[in-house]
Chain A
C-alpha cells in the first residue's frame, strides 16, 4: 500500500500568516495517463470533510484562492497564503492513483 506521510501533524499559525503542509508518498503518484491524483481535504471541527484541491494543484469550486497545491512525484505541499479563523481544522492528503486509496494522518491547523 502507498503510505502518505504528512508533516507537521500540528500547525499553530498566527492569523494572516502563511501556513504550509507537506505530504509525501511512498511511491510515485503519477498514473499511466500522465496525471497525478493527489487530493487535499479540509475537515473543520464538527463537519464533514470537503475537497479543496484535486490533481495536485486544482482548486474545487468555491475554494478561496488563498489555498494552493503544488508538487510532483512523491512530494506535495498545501499552502494557505493568509490564514483566516475559518481555516481551523484538520487537513488530509489522499492519493487516488493506486489501490487501495490512502490518506495521510492529518495535520491539525490551529490559531496561536
Chain B
C-alpha cells in the first residue's frame, strides 16, 4: 500500500520558520517526482512546489518562491518543505502528493500550518 504521512505542522508567528516532512512507503520513492499542495481553510487546492526524482529539478509557486525550499532524501524515502518568512496567508493544510503519468496517484492526510501572532 502506498502511504504518505506528513508531519511538522503547527502554530508559528509571522516571520517564523517551520520544516514539514513527508514520510513515504509502499513504492519506490526514488523513482518518482513528488509535490506539495496546500489548502487554506475552506478554500481550494493550491500547488506549492515539486521536485524531480533525483532532485535536479525543483519548481515553486510564485507565492512561495524565495521563502520555501523543497528537498528530498531518497535513502530515507522522505520529502521535506522548509518554510521561512511565514505569512498569515501561508496558513493552510499542507499535503504531499504524487501524481505520476501512469496509474498510482496518492496523497497524504495533510498537516496543518497556522501562522498567527
Interface of A toward B, CB cutoff 8 Å: 35, 37, 39, 41, 43, 48-51, 54-55, 58, 60-61, 90, 92, 94, 96, 99-106
Contact = CB atoms under 8 A, between A and B. Distances in A.
Given A48-B110, A101-B50, A103-B44, A54 B101 contact: yes
Interface in B66-117: 95, 97, 99-110
Interface of B: 35, 37, 44-47, 50, 59-62, 95, 97, 99-110
Nearest to A6: B44
A10 to B, nearest CB: 13
B113 to A, nearest CB: 15
A-B CB proximity, top 7 nearest: A51-B105, A101-B47, A48-B107, A106-B44, A103-B45, A60-B105, A99-B59
Most buried by A among B35, B45, B95: B45
28 contacts: A41-B105, A43-B45, A48-B107, A49-B45, A49-B95, A50-B105, A51-B106, A54-B100, A54-B103, A54-B105, A55-B101, A58-B103, A60-B104, A60-B105, A61-B103, A61-B104, A92-B44, A92-B45, A94-B47, A96-B99, A96-B101, A100-B59, A100-B61, A101-B35, A101-B47, A101-B50, A103-B46, A104-B44
Contacts of B37: 49
Contacts of A105: 44
A54 B78 CA distance: 24
B110 A51 contact: no
B3 to A, nearest CB: 12
